[in-house]
Amino acid sequence: MAFAAFSEALSLVFSWPTPLWVVIGLTLGMIAGALPGIGSSLGMAIILPLTLPLGPINAIILLVSMYSGAMYGGSISAILVNVPGTGGAAATTFDGYPMAKQGRAIDALSMSATASAVGGFLSVITLLLISPILIEAVLLFGSPEYFLMAILGLSMITIVADGSMVKGLVAGAAGLLITTIGIAPNSPELRYTYGSLGLYDGIDFIAALIGMFAIAEMLKLAGQEGGIADGDIDLTGSTLSGVKETLSHPGTIIKSGYIGMFIGAIPGAGATVSNFLAYGESMRSSDDPGSFGNGNPLGVISSEASNNGTIGGSLIPTISFGIPGSGSTAVLLGGLLMHGLRPGPQLFETDLHITYAFLIALLIGNIFIILIGVLVVTRLAKLTLIDTHIIIPMILVLSMVGGYTLRSNWVDVITVLLLGFFGYIMVRKDYSIIAFVLGVVLGPIAEENLMRSLQISGGSYDIFVTKPLSLLITAAIILILVGPYVKPALEKRLA
Amino acid sequence: MSRKSLYRRLSERFDQERVLLIVLILGSGFALVETFRFDISAAARFPRLTGSVVFVGALLIFFSKYLPEGLRAVVEESAGVFEADEDFEKRQQKAEEQQQAGADTAQTDRNEFSTVGRPIHDSVFTALVITGYAAVGFAIGILWATPLFVVAYGYWFKQPWHLTGVLAVIGFAIAFGFMSVLGVPLDRGEIFLTSGVF
C-alpha cells in the first residue's frame, strides 16, 4: 500500500501546476520570514483563506513550502540587520551579522541557504524512511488515546512555553472552551448560540488563527518604530565559497539537522528552541569556542540546519496525532482540517498519497531553497528595508478580508478582531499563544474523541487507564504536569 | 483636566492582565453556569471540564499575591524545561530584544505615547482604527472600507500622501481580488449598498 501511495504521490507532485505552488510557497515563505514581525505562522495564517479554491494537495503543498521558505527567510534579516525574521533564526544573528560586518554577507546568506536546504532535506527524508513505523504506531490509537494525546500535547506546550505553567494551562483550556460554542459533536445540543445563526457552526479556527497571529502581532509591531534596517551592510562576499564551506562541515549539518528534528517533534518547542540548542552544541564541540559570536561560519550553519531540520520533526505529531509542534504547524493543521484532511489514521491509510505528496514537495522545496536563496537573495535582502507602517495596513487588510472570506459571516470578522486584541495582551503578559491556538484547533477533535470514548465505556472514565497505551499516556500527562514541581522537592530530600 | 492627562491617568491605571483575567473568570464562570441549562448532559461535559480549568486557573493567577508561598510559586514560576546556561540566556534575551525593537533607534518626532508624536499609544490607535474598519465594512462593505482604513492609518502615522495613496489602491486591489477570485460579496454592506455594486 505504501509503495503504491508513494508512486501516486510522485506523479501528483510532478504534475503541473503543483511544482509552481512549491515555488510560490517557498518565495512567499522567504518574504514572510525575511520581514521581522511577520514570520511563518502569520504569513501562513493570512494565506490560508486564499487556499480555499485550491485542491487539498496543492493547498497543503503551498503551506508546507511557505513554512520551509520562512525558516530560511528568517536568516536574511538576521544576517543583514541583526534582527531575526523568525524566532528560529535568533541564533543566526550571533555569527551571521558579524560575518556581514566583515564583508562576508553573501557567504553567510549562501551558508544559510545551503545549511537550511541540507538540514531540511535530511529531516524530511528521515521522516519518509520512518513513516512505515509511524503508520503502525498511529493505527494502534483509538478514541481514548487520541483524546489523551490532545491533552498530552497541551500539557507539553505549557511546560515548554515561556512563563508560568498555570498561565499556559489557562490559555490552552480557554482555547478549548471557545470551541464549545455551536452545535455539540455527536448531539443536537446548541451551546452558547443564543439564537444567532452565525454561531451555530461555532468559532472558525482559521479566524482564530488570523486574529491570534496577524492582528495581535500587528498591534505589537505598530508600537515599534518605523524602519527595520538602516541599510549599512554591503552585500559583498562569494556565493560559491559560502556553499563550499557549508558542505565541508557535514558533521555539523547532520548533528544540527537531527537536533532540530528531535526538538521539532516535541510539541511547543519548535525552531526557537532548536536553533539555540544546535548552536550551543556546535560551540561545545568546537576546538575554538571563543570564535563563536565573532563571525564563525559554524554558528550560522548549525543554527540554520537545525531550524529547517525542525520541520520534519514537527510534522510527526502534527500529522500523526493532530498535535502541532509550533505556531506554523498549528496553521498547517488548520489548513489540513479546512481541506477535509484529518490527522491520524486517515492520513496514513486512505490519504497516504497526500501525506507522501507534501513530504516529497518539501524535499523538492529544499533544492529550490538553494536555487532561490543563492540566485535571488540580493533582491530579497531589500525586503529588510521596508517600513513597518507599509507592512501593517496591508497585513490588516489581508486579515480582515480573509476573515470575512471564510464563511461570508460577520462572526468571523468579530472573532478575528476580539481574539487579536486578546492575543495582543496574552503576548505582552507571557501567556502562551501557541497553547491557546492549539486549544482552538484541537478542541473539536478532543471533544469528539472524549464523547466517543465515554459512549464506548458507558460513561466510565476507566477507559483512559485500562489499556496499556492509554495508561502510559495518562501517566505521561501526570508526570509532565506534576514533575516540574515534585522534582526539586525530591532532589532536595535526596540531597 | 486636559484630555491628554486624562488619557495618561487612564492608561496608567489600566492593567491589561487584570482585564484579561477578569474576562476569563467571568467568561468561564458564565460558561460553567450555562452548562446546567443544557438539555443533553453529555454535551455539558467538555465545556464544564475546560471551563473549570480556566475559572480556577485564572482565579489563582488573579489572587496569586494572596496565596501561600508554596502555591504562589506553583502559580507564578516557569517549569523551565529548556533552561539554557546563563551566557546563552543573555544572548537569547538580546536576540529577542533586537527582534522586538528592530535596529532603528531614530528619536525624532516621538513622545512617551507614540513613535509619531500622537497623543495616544500607537497600538491603541491601531486597535481603534481596525475596529472602525470592521464597523464601516459592516455598514458599507469591506471593499469600500478598505481604502478609507488605509488612508486613516497612513494619515495618523504621518506617511507621505503619495505612499498612502498607493497603499490604498493596493488594499482595494487585494479586497477586489478576493471578491473576484473567491466570489465573496465584499462590495455589499449590511446597512448601505446592500445589493452591492459589482
Write the pLDDT tens digit of every residue in B135-188: 999 999 999 999 999 999 999 999 999 999 999 999 999 999 989 988 889 999
Question: For all residues of chain B together, what is the average pLDDT?
Answer: 84
* Local confidence band at B105 (pLDDT 50, 70, 90 cut-offs): very low
Rg, C-alpha atoms of chain A: 22
The predicted model gives A107-126 an average pLDDT of 91
pLDDT of residue A97: 85
CB contact under 8 A, A401 and B174: yes
Q: At which residue does the C-alpha cell 540587520 appear?
A: A81
CB contact under 8 A, B126 and A219: yes
pLDDT of residue A89: 83
pLDDT exceeds cutoff 50 at A145: yes
Domain carrying residue A331 = 2-494
**Please, where are the H alpha helices in A191-269?**
205-209, 216-222, 239-247, 250-264
Q: Rank A259-263, A274-278, B23-27 by mean pLDDT and report only the highest.
A: B23-27
Chain A residues lying within 8 Å of B138, measured CB to CB: 410, 413
**Is A170 buried (19+), middle (13-18) or exposed (0-12) by CB count in 10 A?**
buried
In this complex, the residue of A225, A421, A439 whose CB is nearest that of residue B104 is A225
Please state the domain extents for chain B.
Answer: 13-76, 122-182
pLDDT exceeds cutoff 60 at B101: no
Q: Nearest-CA neighbor of A233 among A418, A76, A88? A: A76
* Local confidence band at B38 (pLDDT 50, 70, 90 cut-offs): very high
pLDDT exceeds cutoff 90 at A495: no
pLDDT of residue B80: 56
Q: How many CB pairs under 8 A join A and B?
A: 250
Residues 139-198 of chain A with CB under 8 A from chain B are 158-160, 162-167, 169-170, 173-174, 176-177, 180, 184, 186-189, 191-192
d(CA B18, CA A493): 37
**Strand, helix or coil at A183?**
strand
pLDDT, greater one: A53 or B58: B58
The predicted model gives B92-112 an average pLDDT of 53
The predicted model gives A63-86 an average pLDDT of 83
Amino acid making up residue A494? L
Q: Is there a contact between A237 and A108 (Cβ–Cβ < 8 Å)? A: yes
pLDDT exceeds cutoff 50 at A287: yes
For testing the chain B interface, which of A79, A80, A166, A445 should be mutated: the one with the most B CBs within 10 Å?
Answer: A166
Separation of CA A53 from chain center:
23
Number of domains chain A contains: 1
Model-level pTM?
0.83
* Local confidence band at B95 (pLDDT 50, 70, 90 cut-offs): low
Hey, what's the cell of A190? 446548541
Q: List for chain A the helix, strand, coil content (%; round to 5).
A: 75, 0, 20
A405 touches chain B (CB under 8 A): yes
B74 touches chain A (CB under 8 A): yes
Question: For all residues of chain A together, what is the average pLDDT?
Answer: 85
CB contact under 8 A, A413 and B157: no
d(CA A217, CA A396): 10
Nearest CA in chain A to B105: A225
In this complex, the residue of A159, A170, A454 whose CB is nearest that of residue B54 is A170
pLDDT of residue A6: 85
Chain A residues lying within 8 Å of B81, measured CB to CB: 159-160, 484
d(CA A408, CA A47): 17
Separation of CA A439 from chain center:
15
Q: Nearest-CA neighbor of A170 among B60, B83, B65? A: B60
A82: left (phi over 0), alpha (psi -120 to 50) or beta: left
- Minimum mean pLDDT among A447-451, B14-18, B146-150: which range? B14-18
Nearest CA in chain A to B183: A405
pLDDT, greater one: B162 or A317: B162
A231 touches chain B (CB under 8 A): no
pLDDT, greater one: A295 or B60: B60
Chain B residues lying within 8 Å of A270, measured CB to CB: none
pLDDT exceeds cutoff 90 at A183: yes
d(CA A22, CA A435): 29
Hey, what's the cell of A4? 503504491
pLDDT, greater one: B7 or A397: A397
What phi and psi values does residue B13 have, to the nearest 5 degrees? -80, -20
In this complex, the residue of B16, B79, B105 whose CB is nearest that of residue A484 is B79
Instruction: Indicate the helix (H) or strand (E) that contains B128.
Output: helix B122-140
Q: Is there a contact between A151 and A477 (Cβ–Cβ < 8 Å)? A: yes
In this complex, the residue of A53, A160, A293 whose CB is nearest that of residue B182 is A53
pLDDT of residue B108: 45
pLDDT of residue A441: 82
The predicted model gives A432-461 an average pLDDT of 88
Give per-residue pLDDT as tens, A205-223.
Answer: 889 988 998 899 889 888 8
The predicted model gives A446-471 an average pLDDT of 91
Amino acid making up residue A311? I
d(CA B162, CA B148): 15
The predicted model gives A458-463 an average pLDDT of 91
Q: Is there a contact between A300 and A238 (Cβ–Cβ < 8 Å)? A: no
Q: Is there a contact between A126 and A134 (Cβ–Cβ < 8 Å)? A: no
Torsion of CA B117, A39, A236, A370, to 10 degrees: -170
Shortest distance, CA B31 to any CA of chain A (angstroms): 8
What phi and psi values does residue A103 have, to the nearest 5 degrees? 85, 20
Q: At which residue does the C-alpha cell 521558505 appear?
A: A69
How long, in residues, is chain A?
495
End-to-end Cα separation, chain B, in angstroms: 50
Nearest CA in chain B to A225: B115
- Minimum mean pLDDT among A94-108, A189-203, B71-85: which range? B71-85
